Chain A
Amino acid sequence: MNYFPEEVLEHIFDFVSSNQDRNAISLVCKTWFKVERESRSRVFVGNCYAVNPSRLIKRFPRLRSLALKGKPHFADFNLVPHDWGAFVYPWIDALSKGCPDLEELRLKRMVVSDDCLELLSKSFPNFKSLVLDSCEGFSTDGLAAIAANCRHLRELDLQENEVDDRKVHWLSCFPETCTSLVSLNFACLRGEVNLASLERLVARSPNLRSLKLNRAVPFETLHKILTKAPQLVDLGTGSFVHDPNSEAYNMLKSAISKCRSVRSLSGFLEVASRCLPVVYPLCSNLTTLNLSYATGINGTDLTKMIRHCRRLQRLWILDCIGDKGLAVVASTCKELEELRVFPSDPYAAGSATVTEEGLVAISGGCPKLHSVLYFCHQMTNAGLISVAKNCPNFVRFRLCILDPIKADPTTGQPLDEGFGAIVQSCKRLRRLSISGLLTDKVFLYIGMYAEQLEMLSVAFAGESDKAMIYVLNGCKKLRKLEIRDCPFGNLALLTDIGKYETMRSLWMSSCEVTLGACKLLARKMPRLNVEIINEKEQGQANLDDDRQRVEKMYLYRTLVGRRKDAPDFVWTL
């Protein structure tokens, strides 16, 4: 292939879309590296501090789409202090100067300010798509800027962000000439929106496929929207409480009967059981159903609805569906591929919830299941072994037992054997979260069998350093390891320090690692940033006492050395 001209190479590479494959291509030879980098348009940066924007722009001059991830995963659970970092402004600043053709920006767990959004809206004339997931730091002012200035905006997707509501009618800022919207998701906003503007926007967007409303959009508006957008594929309802006898209800009924294309249903942030039957006609075509915010619906009504959803592939639901409800899911939804069961009350112990029976039923009934997130009150080894036998195709398996160190209630044993069966049976497992009472054995199993494992989350598990060493030695493809409240210490941290350069990041909090060990690690590995998050008051903080335990440590590989925007409580060693 060396004799092909570069144009041909480029044409061939165009068929390769996966980022990992393209990374591999770029390693073959200098020519391939050059061709690949000049033709790459989509780049994914898993850790915004691993590389700086100028290097990125230099390497990929034709960048059109950038995905960035900022804070570590455990920031979702309040383990990372608020102003730890992950500011996107430097990126947007650099991109505005070096890459004006940017079309798409996808950010996850980053701090986005209104200035960023304004700069974004004004710097990229072709900007088409903005996806913000779990971000914070901006308000509806920023959204107004985006709406007003991005002429060709196709996608504005706000997933679970913390947005400051400034009572700005940002929806009204979409110019009347804007007709290109394909996807609009503002379900996370808490404030009111101008309903008339919304209806007009929907009316002039013939390409609209995905619309997710927030809680402030009342029931009565829904039918008007659906009448104007019968081509919707993805619908997220707003408030869903109304009198079934009212006119609005009947009108919604008729509007829904005209929506033949809806495949994904979500929302139900505020819902009453008696209103659900109106969406039953949609259920038979649904492939995605997200009822995980619908606290008003009890298990029986949930089950009633799901009986209609025969083609469901993704189901996100609350645990009030119960084990019996999950059995109904198992018998109805034979195409199910992804299931997420969330706790309806995270702190309640013992209320009617799901146990191992539900998961076993699902695994028995749904052969295509490959992704599970399951919050339950108890789990047994036997249950996990059955699940492993029934579903050897798991790619993501995340089990969270609400009591962090609960053993198998039927035998009193730790759950090592159960998880061992999972990793042994599921050869393609890429993501695993374990919980419950666990000893070192489970880590031995993980190290031995989980060859494709890329991300592992561990909490309150293990007995000694050997456990972590098993995992670091055994999982060759491990990219992210996050550990909290486990007795892993310096020996585990320092045994295989070369491993960390093959991984994206390591998070250890409330473990037995000392400051001295972290300093040693930082000294030996200059291409890692070892950050200590110290939350004590400044007077107590002492960088010299090597024997003190480190409460939170986050280390990641990086090409650009220590970051310059670290706050005072973060020490980069």
Chain B
Amino acid sequence: ENTNTTILIVIVSIAFAFHIRQELNICNYSAHPACLCFPYSLSSIISLKFLSVSLTFLCFINLVMNSSHLGVGEEEEGQSTITLPPSGSSAESILGNSSALKEQNYMGLSDCSSSVDSSAISISSQESRSNMNLKATELRLGLPGSQSPERDAELGSPSSPKLDEKPLFPFRPFRDDASCLSPRSVVSSNKRGFSVAMSSFPEGKFVSNPDVNGMLATRSSSSLAFKSGPSKESPADLTTKMKEAASAIAVRERPLGAGENFGKHMAASTHSSAPAPKAQVVGWPPVRSFRKNSLATASKNRGELQGKAGPGGLFVKVSMDGAPYLRKVDLKAYTTYQELSSALEKMFSCFTIGQCAPNVTSGGEMVSESKLQDLVHGSEYALTYEDKDGDWMLVGDVPWEMFIETCRRMRIMKSSDAIGLAPRAIEKRKSRN
């Protein structure tokens, strides 16, 4: 502060001397008889000139002061890139970046007579725009505020980015990269972060992909950073956040970003995550819910009727009197009663099938009488089943297909118990026909 004042005094004195010299020059030219009044008017002129020039010099010196204090870290002007906690290398790069920018600002501002505030704003907007197009920084120097509303508008309307412009975003700054001063890696990563933030606004319905969710999280954070706008946040904060987002996303972001540019429907070439959301899509395929429900009910009913019918087989329980545990057989594995009986025989070692099947029309499932009689003759068991009405029937009455559809479970019972069944079975047969 003391140095400031001393320098001011020096300047004031110089300015005064300069003006007096000028005044003297003027006096030399004038040969007016009223030159006595001159000193009075001249003094006013002198004072005005003095004031303007001193103000100019004040600004100049203020700036010189601030730039020299950069290493110390003054917060006021918003150029506090150093105070933020990025990683070491990035800090340096940012510093390098910002110092490069500062140099540009420095040069630019020396030309124009803008106030301190406008210079700060122009720096911040410049920095954000540098991530987009460094060429623009140079052009914009004459009109610091002209393009920033555009930028804000672009950021502020996240939902209407022109999709066909999006693929250009990552490309354009890269072209400008070659011409810029700042280190390429930093700028490119910043740009990628920005394009990611831009493309994050139309969020897709990526439900089940954890990678994408992670990406969306980082994107949303970067988009949040953007939504607050460069005018509110310090530009360096912005830069840091973009860097974080960029680093989190890695190279894979690129193809996904490109895929995202095509909106919801991803080209077949992109992620295998695309089919995953399909199963969860509401209302697809467009089949009326009434129809869906009735088809589901129908298949469920069929399943119930057939026992536990999976896509593979039709398993029904088989119990045997006196056996310690039950067995299950797959009725679909057999096509005739004979096959079934032999399988059961193998399972239970001794049993018999009741009697022959009378009116079998749909050929071939009939067990020949002779064979059955042999079995009956040779053993003391009868094979019965419970049909879907809950009645216990002797196996062998009905055609095989119908048996499969109506059989719920089977029981190998002693012939003595089965005696009561036979007449009932005959009765049922009669009522059906």
- Asked if B156 and A77 sit within 8 Å, CB to CB, the answer is no
- Asked if B285 and A295 sit within 8 Å, CB to CB, the answer is no
- Asked if A160 and B288 sit within 8 Å, CB to CB, the answer is yes
- Asked if A405 and B266 sit within 8 Å, CB to CB, the answer is yes
* Alpha-carbon separation in the docked complex, A151 to B294 (Å): 33
A344 at interface by CB-CB < 8 Å: yes
* Alpha-carbon separation in the docked complex, A269 to B302 (Å): 11
A486 at interface by CB-CB < 8 Å: yes
B144 at interface by CB-CB < 8 Å: no
- Asked if A485 and B202 sit within 8 Å, CB to CB, the answer is no
Contact among B262, B279, B283, B301 with A487 in the assembled complex (CB-CB below 8 Å): B262
- Asked if B287 and A486 sit within 8 Å, CB to CB, the answer is no
List A residues 454-509 near B (Cβ within 8 Å): 457, 459-465, 484-487, 489-491
With known contacts A293-B298, A547-B158, A460–B265 Cβ distance under 8 A: yes
Number of interface residues, chain B, beta carbon within 8 A:
50
- B interface footprint on A530-544 (CB within 8 Å = 1, 0 otherwise): 000000000000000
Chain B residues with CB under 8 A of A346: 285, 287, 292
- Asked if A547 and B156 sit within 8 Å, CB to CB, the answer is yes
Contact among B156, B282, B283, B298 with A270 in the assembled complex (CB-CB below 8 Å): B298
- Asked if A247 and B433 sit within 8 Å, CB to CB, the answer is yes
- A interface footprint on B377-418 (CB within 8 Å = 1, 0 otherwise): 000000000000000000000110110010000000000000
- Asked if A514 and B163 sit within 8 Å, CB to CB, the answer is no
- B interface footprint on A58-84 (CB within 8 Å = 1, 0 otherwise): 000000000000000010111100000
* Alpha-carbon separation in the docked complex, A296 to B266 (Å): 37
- Asked if A269 and B432 sit within 8 Å, CB to CB, the answer is no
* Alpha-carbon separation in the docked complex, A556 to B413 (Å): 71
- Asked if A405 and B285 sit within 8 Å, CB to CB, the answer is no
- Asked if A296 and B298 sit within 8 Å, CB to CB, the answer is yes
Number of A-B contacts (CB under 8 A): 144
Chain A residues with CB under 8 A of B202: 487, 489, 512, 549
Taking the nearest CB of chain B, how far is it from the CB of A297, in angstroms?
Answer: 11
Taking the nearest CB of chain A, how far is it from the CB of B195, in angstroms?
Answer: 17
- Asked if B302 and A489 sit within 8 Å, CB to CB, the answer is no
A283 at interface by CB-CB < 8 Å: no
Contact among A375, A462, A517 with B285 in the assembled complex (CB-CB below 8 Å): A375
- A interface footprint on B261-291 (CB within 8 Å = 1, 0 otherwise): 0111111100000110011011111111111
- Asked if A514 and B159 sit within 8 Å, CB to CB, the answer is yes
- Asked if A464 and B263 sit within 8 Å, CB to CB, the answer is yes
* Alpha-carbon separation in the docked complex, A343 to B292 (Å): 9
Taking the nearest CB of chain B, how far is it from the CB of A401, in angstroms?
Answer: 9
Contact among A342, A487, A490 with B163 in the assembled complex (CB-CB below 8 Å): A487
- Asked if B264 and A77 sit within 8 Å, CB to CB, the answer is no
- Asked if B301 and A342 sit within 8 Å, CB to CB, the answer is no
Chain B residues with CB under 8 A of A407: 268
Contact among B163, B275, B405, B433 with A245 in the assembled complex (CB-CB below 8 Å): B433
- Asked if B264 and A486 sit within 8 Å, CB to CB, the answer is yes
- B interface footprint on A426-447 (CB within 8 Å = 1, 0 otherwise): 0000000100011000000000
- Asked if B289 and A77 sit within 8 Å, CB to CB, the answer is yes
B295 at interface by CB-CB < 8 Å: yes
- Asked if B402 and A243 sit within 8 Å, CB to CB, the answer is yes
Chain A residues with CB under 8 A of B302: 295-296
* Alpha-carbon separation in the docked complex, A487 to B285 (Å): 19
- Asked if A489 and B285 sit within 8 Å, CB to CB, the answer is no
With known contacts A487-B262, A512-B202, A547-B156, A162–B285 Cβ distance under 8 A: no
* Alpha-carbon separation in the docked complex, A405 to B274 (Å): 9
- A interface footprint on B158-185 (CB within 8 Å = 1, 0 otherwise): 1110111000000000000000000000
Taking the nearest CB of chain A, how far is it from the CB of B340, in angstroms?
Answer: 20
With known contacts A245-B359, A269-B294, A343-B287, A79–B282 Cβ distance under 8 A: yes
Contact among B281, B291, B295, B401 with A404 in the assembled complex (CB-CB below 8 Å): B281
A14 at interface by CB-CB < 8 Å: no
B157 at interface by CB-CB < 8 Å: yes
- Asked if A245 and B287 sit within 8 Å, CB to CB, the answer is no
- Asked if B432 and A78 sit within 8 Å, CB to CB, the answer is no
- Asked if B163 and A464 sit within 8 Å, CB to CB, the answer is yes
B299 at interface by CB-CB < 8 Å: yes
A510 at interface by CB-CB < 8 Å: yes
Taking the nearest CB of chain A, how far is it from the CB of B42, in angstroms?
Answer: 63
Taking the nearest CB of chain B, how far is it from the CB of A152, in angstroms?
Answer: 30
With A244-B361, A403-B275 known, 16 other A-B pairs at CB within 8 A are A76-B288, A77-B289, A78-B282, A78-B283, A134-B288, A161-B290, A243-B398, A295-B295, A344-B295, A346-B285, A375-B285, A375-B287, A412-B268, A433-B286, A459-B284, A549-B202
Q: List 28 A-B contacts (CB under 8 A).
A: A77-B282, A77-B283, A77-B284, A188-B290, A243-B402, A244-B362, A245-B359, A245-B433, A270-B298, A293-B295, A295-B302, A296-B298, A296-B302, A342-B291, A346-B285, A346-B292, A347-B279, A403-B275, A437-B268, A438-B265, A460-B264, A463-B265, A465-B163, A485-B205, A485-B281, A486-B263, A487-B264, A491-B162
**What are the 3 tightest A-B residue pairs by CB atom distance, in nearest-first order?**
A487-B263, A77-B283, A514-B159
